[in-house]
Structure 1
Amino acid sequence: MATKVELANQTGADGMRLLLAVYSKEAPPWLRNVPAVEILRRIWIQEFRDEEGRVRWRTSQEQPASSARLVSPYDEDARVGVKRDTQWDGFKVHLAETCDDGEPHLITDVATTPAPGSDYGVLPIVHEGLVERGLLPAEHLVDAGYMSADVVVAAKRDHNVEMVGPMMPGTSWQKSGEGTIPVSAFTIDWDNETITCPQGKISKRWAHEVDKGGREVIRVQFARKDCTPCPVRPQCTRASIPRRRITLRVREQYEVLQQARTNQDSPEWKARYQACQGIEGTIAQAVNRFMARRSRYRGTAKTHLQHLLTAAAINLTRIDAWLMGVPLAPTRTSHFAALAA
């Protein structure tokens, strides 16, 4: 590792000397406008630091965020993406398809986005594209990565589309611990802007604020004199100042979130959501038969064109299979599931 860092520092110093020469007064001004020189400058800024004449390779913590960090000198749009244990350089493709019984399952929308970032912001773009083509569904099944209270509310408000998908569970320790007191155990009075705890105490503060993500939230706080002597305080709060604090989404988003989490535990919801599993087969078909994970081109626009052509090829293949009476392939059963059956 020491040899690797030493080599990187030497490479950084060599590149820095080249850039200083290019940007010196003696160098021809047109050199600075060469695209390759600008790419070199941006990469060296993000990868190296000049500390009083000594060039040092930046640590991962010192580098820019993944949304701004260049990963290739040949493609300014490519970024690094991470999903669980998988990491890749490039872009992300989002596919929407029909799933009606007795009809061919056809791709209706293709969105190409930067690799990093969440998927929440993609759905409004997808819905606008479907509106333009007259293909907007009444019900849209998506996986958990696309679901949020904001998405559900916006889809219903803007396009009258009902979103169906699993909501992410709450992450507070009170939600996951046994014998603890989660927010659902409190009674919320939205009209009077108060919350009553299971011990009958009423909150003392209710304030509308904006969180770090730019979302409107409600901060609720109980009085210290009520929480300090409470017999169940260890199951309710671990705060150094003994009083419970609760952060809520605004009423519409909060109620949508709670209703969705309740619905997704029912057998009816699970049977309804099974149709969404077909998109996994579409992704597998795109990857295994149409090489969707490899782009022949550079840049967002050309990569998106490839995604569109891939989707068109998949649709033609599926239409041909449907006309020829070829049935849909059954869902693959794993060896473990077969043994357990």
Structure 2
Amino acid sequence: MTVFLLLGGSECVVSVRPRPWPKPDPQVAAAIQAIYRGRREVPLAVRVRDRLGELFPDASFVEAFGRAGKPGWSPGRLALVTVLQKAASLTDRQAADEVRENLAWKYALGLGLEDPGFDHSVLSEFRSRVVTHGLEERVLDLLLERLRTLDLLASGGSQRTDSTHIVAAVRDLNRLELAGESVRAALNALAAACPDWVDQVLVVDDWASRYADRIDTWRLPSSRAGQNELALHYAQDGFTLLQAVHAPGSPAWLRELSAVQTLRCVLVQNYTRTADRAGRLRIRRRERAEDGGDGLPPAPSRLASPYDTDTRWSAKRDLFWNGYKLHVSETCHPQADGDRPTRPNLITNVTTTCSTLPDSRALEAIHQALHRRHLLPARHYLDSGYPSADLIVSCARTYGIALVTAVLLDTSRQAKAQQGFAAHDFTVDWDGSQAVCPAGKASATWNDVVQEGVAKTVVSFAALDCVPCPVKQQCTSSRKGRRLSLYPRELTEAIRTARAQQQDGTWQRDYALRAGVEGTVRQATHTTGLRRAPYRFRFSAQPVSCRFAG
């Protein structure tokens, strides 16, 4: 295995060959036993090694590394260090110090008293290699596999899932700041990647003073007119920069830089360029369509930062944030009053999605991950943001999972007012392609249609039956007959059954089990600090004040 370490500014190639972990050093084990015998609780690191043994074998990370170079540290033990580091909320430097000084950590890692450990930069490089090769979930997979062998986890049973917001590790930028900072990020990336080309091509007045410091609201004009003028300056500078990068004499690889691609996307999303009768290009800011503008892109595709192109602005009730959404799943065990569950509640899956992705769209990915780990539940407790009629049916058919969830109630006028006849008051004969209203009249037409890409059945009642009906006011305000828009049979029956069940007191007491996942989410956010993303993608930036002197 090959690990690239940056030590003292030089790059050296280090290899790690998979091998079993050493047993705890006898001297360290004796010291641990003497210190904690009958006095205090044994540290977490010691309990992990005693109960779980070699939890993360080196071979599980072999695909992320090469096979040549100077011998280095075990990736499996680095994975354990990373877990202990996060549990104790330590920096990389502090975690490296714990490896050198903490007897409990030496015991867990199988190190001797005199082992010097490693430089703290090894941890950052290890995480980078893991992310680059898509092994982010390998540690969780190995842990869950070990818990399965200890009979603490199994497929079937009950699980619950909830989502929470994650704030990105970037500044919150308004549209004006975003435009200016995107130009600045592209300039810094170009200056770092090809300084000679920058010196020869980008000689533009005012760029040095405009982009020397980060774009900040506190230094921007306070008047609306001044802000609009500055926004156009940012756009003109951005388009000038893109034109220079795409010029025939410029290196073609410059236009492939991430910062340049991001700048192009930001300009397209926030500005329009049109040619007047004289052929001159006019740049205008995009405004919302409802305000008479050209329209802004939808939130799922709208960039919020040039330094993290995955983060998005999103809203949920009274919460408004820039970042991501995290879905946490854990086992749960229904229990009688006074009884304790025989197994602990254990997290089985963690899924990070775009903040604008609805919870219902994330459920399939969650079930696929649980299926891969052989940990699919028989009953899955969810809040009302996850289910739909289609998901209730498809989860039961594909995975054999019963979704225990509060589905949204009927939103028709009659159902909201709780007066009159809602859709569930009609008797539907699917085999006979006919519906019967509460007054006993049969439907006149039965048509299978597609509405907004969704297959539905439209059932209509004859005006001759509805207009003279004595209970018409309780049924419809239409001058014609009543119409019903039904989902396919399986979906309609599933949603009607779910709505009927959630009115039952026994179901509601069972559904109360779902609320426990909120405590798990809170524990995760407070213990690991995951409310705020710890990392972001950063461009290698160089000062631009000396490169765009004009």
- TM bracket (short chain): 0.7 to 0.9
Counterpart position of 1:202: 442
Please, which of 41, 45, 48 is the counterpart of residue 271 of structure 2?
48
Structure 1 consecutive aligned stretches of length 4 or more whose deviation exceeds 3 Å = 3-7, 20-31, 228-235
Please, which of 236, 245, 257 is the counterpart of residue 22 of structure 1?
245
Alignment of 1:1-341 (within 5 A): 2-3=224-225, 4-25=227-248, 27-52=250-275, 53-61=281-289, 62-100=295-333, 101-212=341-452, 214-239=453-478, 242-298=480-536
Structure 1 residues 260 and 49: alpha-carbon distance in aligned structure 2, compared to 1, 3 A threshold: same
Structure 1 residues 198 and 206: alpha-carbon distance in aligned structure 2, compared to 1, 3 A threshold: same
Which amino acid is the alignment partner of residue 327 of structure 2? H
Counterpart position of 2:127: none
Instruction: State the shift of 1:121 in Å.
Output: 2.6
SS of the aligned residue for 2:301 comes to coil
Which amino acid is the alignment partner of residue 36 of structure 1? A
Instruction: State the shift of 1:215 in Å.
Output: 3.1
Structure 1 residues 8 and 183: alpha-carbon distance in aligned structure 2, compared to 1, 3 A threshold: same
Write out per-residue CA displacement over residues 19-71 of structure 1, whole angstroms, 9 at most, x where no aligned residue: 33433456554432232111100110001112332222212441111222211
Which amino acid is the alignment partner of residue 139 of structure 1? R
Instruction: State the shift of 1:280 in Å.
Output: 0.5
Instruction: State the shift of 1:229 in Å.
Output: 3.4
SS of the aligned residue for 2:314 comes to strand
Instruction: State the shift of 1:233 in Å.
Output: 3.3
Which amino acid is the alignment partner of residue 221 of structure 1? S
CA distance in 1: counterparts of 2:299 and 2:369, whole angstroms? 27
SS of the aligned residue for 1:36 comes to helix
SS of the aligned residue for 1:95 comes to strand
Structure 1 residues 28 and 158: alpha-carbon distance in aligned structure 2, compared to 1, 3 A threshold: closer
Identity of aligned residues (%): 39
TM-score, scaled to structure 2: 0.51
Structure 1 residues 238 and 31: alpha-carbon distance in aligned structure 2, compared to 1, 3 A threshold: farther
Rg larger in structure? 2
SS of the aligned residue for 2:385 comes to helix
Write out per-residue CA displacement over residues 50-97 of structure 1, whole angstroms, 9 at most, x where no aligned residue: 233222221244111122221111122222222112122222111110
Higher mean C-alpha displacement, 4-13 vs 186-195: 4-13
Instruction: State the shift of 1:224 in Å.
Output: 2.9
Structure 1 residues 298 and 224: alpha-carbon distance in aligned structure 2, compared to 1, 3 A threshold: farther
CA distance in 1: counterparts of 2:473 and 2:230, whole angstroms? 54
CA distance in 2: counterparts of 1:83 and 1:224, whole angstroms? 43
Counterpart position of 1:333: none
TM-score, scaled to structure 1: 0.80
SS of the aligned residue for 2:359 comes to coil
Structure 1 residues 235 and 5: alpha-carbon distance in aligned structure 2, compared to 1, 3 A threshold: farther
Instruction: State the shift of 1:254 in Å.
Output: 0.9
CA distance in 2: counterparts of 1:156 and 1:282, whole angstroms? 26
SS of the aligned residue for 1:230 comes to coil
CA distance in 1: counterparts of 2:253 and 2:346, whole angstroms? 51
Structure 1 residues 144 and 45: alpha-carbon distance in aligned structure 2, compared to 1, 3 A threshold: same
Instruction: State the shift of 1:113 in Å.
Output: 1.4
Which amino acid is the alignment partner of residue 40 of structure 1? L
